[in-house]
Amino acid sequence: MANKTYSFYPGCSSQNKASSSNYLVSTNSMCQKLGITLNEVPDWNCCGASIGYGGGGELPRIVLSARNLALSEQHNAGQDMVATCAACWLASREAKERLDHSPQMKADANEALKEAGLEYKGQAQARHMVEVLIEDIGYDALKAGVKKPLQGVKFAGYVGCQTNRPFGIAGESFENPLYLDNLVEAMGGEAVKSYDQKVTCCGGALAFSEPEKSQKQIKDIIESAYDHGADMIVTPCPLCQANVEIYQGEVNKRYGTKFNIPVTYYSQLITVAYGGTAAEAGLNGHVVAPAKLAEIAGK
């Protein structure tokens, strides 16, 4: 597989012992197997995520992403800045769009960046890891490297919101994006094609502030996966992963359900299918253990 190099923006939740640290573990393993080199953006900061608006308003929020993009331009020149976190990607891309389309916004942002000795030029692209996999490598090439097909495992591809809307992955529909299903199939697994909660919102940050309202969302997302016979859920978003996995106990309490379904990342699937160990795939980082995946990894 051709060697590819990207500037990398891991994001807060991916850090060591943070809520999606196993996303980073599996991403690193996956990239190593795919011949992808990731150069971390030095001294990157939080993107502000979806809730940052409440305290930050518009320009301070956009400046957060402008700083990351400026650092990427400066230190990893000529490389696309790739994020794994849906919110990180969305914030970066949204900021970039505003900055590139509004000279006023760009001037304002640069005035602020100057305080940190930085300048946003608009050279780096903001991309998501899924785009790298689909657009730069391609399903066929991904499929070609599979060593341990994920045979007999049924995945509900839970796309969620922020890798899907408002930008989404090129060529996909907002209402029924297929890229997770395609990735699952490329890895030899079975995709639940009619998973009707595929793009339902998990509640996002309101899972913390409005738990009752959000847990209804989470319940629907899990219930539909069960109804369609899924063994596990797979997602590209750390907040989706966290909300849907860790609140299962709370949902069970509230609704009298007995949910216990693993929620994994596409990067874990690829790592395992490419022959990685359970540890390399970060399978030990789950509240609900993805046993079927661990089984394949252990073979």
Partner 1 sequence: MSEMKYHNNFLKEVEERVEEGHMVKMCMQCGVCSGSCPFGPHWAHPPQELFMMIRAGKREEVLSSDSMWMCTSCYQCIVRCPRKLPITHIMHGLAYLAKREGLAPKGQPTAEFGQMFWDNLTKDGRVNELKLSLSLYFKDGFGQGVKNAMAMQSVGMGLMKAGRLNPMEILGGHKIKDKSGFHAMLKKAREIEDARRKLA
Compute the radius of gyration of the chain from its Cα atoms: 19
Sign, Cα dihedral of 174, 178, 184, 190: positive
- Phi/psi of residue 283, nearest 5 degrees: -70, -15
Asked if 178 is part of the footprint of partner 1 (rule: CB under 8 A), the reply reads no
Among residues 107, 101, 127, which one has the least CA distance to residue 4?
Answer: 127
SS3 (DSSP) at 225: helix
**Closest C-alpha to 85, from 145, 165, 8, 141:** 8
Site string for partner 1, 234-263 (x = CB under 8 A): ------------xx-xx-------------
Q: Which of 81, 109, 137, 191 binds partner 1 (CB under 8 A)?
A: 109
Nearest to partner 1 of 15, 194 (CB atom): 15
Task: Give 157 or 160: the residue with its C-beta nearer to partner 1.
Answer: 160
Which residues of 158-256 form beta strands (DSSP E)? 190-191, 232-235
Q: What are phi and psi of 112, to 5 degrees?
A: -70, -45
Taking CB under 8 A as the rule, does residue 19 contact partner 1?
yes
Minimum CB–partner distance for residue 271 and partner 1 (Å): 17
The structure tokens listed for 221 are: 């997302």
Is residue 37 close enough to count as binding partner 1 by CB under 8 A?
A: no
Task: Indicate which single residue of 4, 32, 39, 51 sits in contact with partner 1 (rule: CB under 8 A).
Answer: 51
Length of the chain equals 299
Q: Is 32 in the site for partner 1 (CB under 8 A)?
A: no
For residue 237 the two structure tokens come to 């978003």
Q: Which of residues 186-215 bind partner 1 (CB under 8 A)?
A: 199-201, 203-206, 208-210, 213-214
Q: How far apart are CA 37 and CA 4, in angstroms?
A: 6
Burial 16-36 (b: 16+ CB within 10 A, else e): eeebbbbbbbbbbbbbebbeb
Q: Which is nearer to partner 1, 180 or 199 (CB)?
A: 199
Q: Examine residue 140 and tell whether it contacts partner 1 (CB under 8 A).
A: no
Of positions 157, 262, 285, 290, contacts partner 1 by CB under 8 A: 285
284: contact with partner 1 by CB under 8 A: yes
Q: Does 53 bind partner 1 (CB under 8 A)?
A: yes
Tokens read off for 264: 């994994």
Please report, as ranges, the residues that interact with partner 1 according to CB under 8 A: 12-13, 15-22, 43-46, 48-60, 62-64, 67, 108-109, 111-118, 161-162, 165-166, 168, 174, 199-201, 203-206, 208-210, 213-214, 217, 246-247, 249-250, 284-287
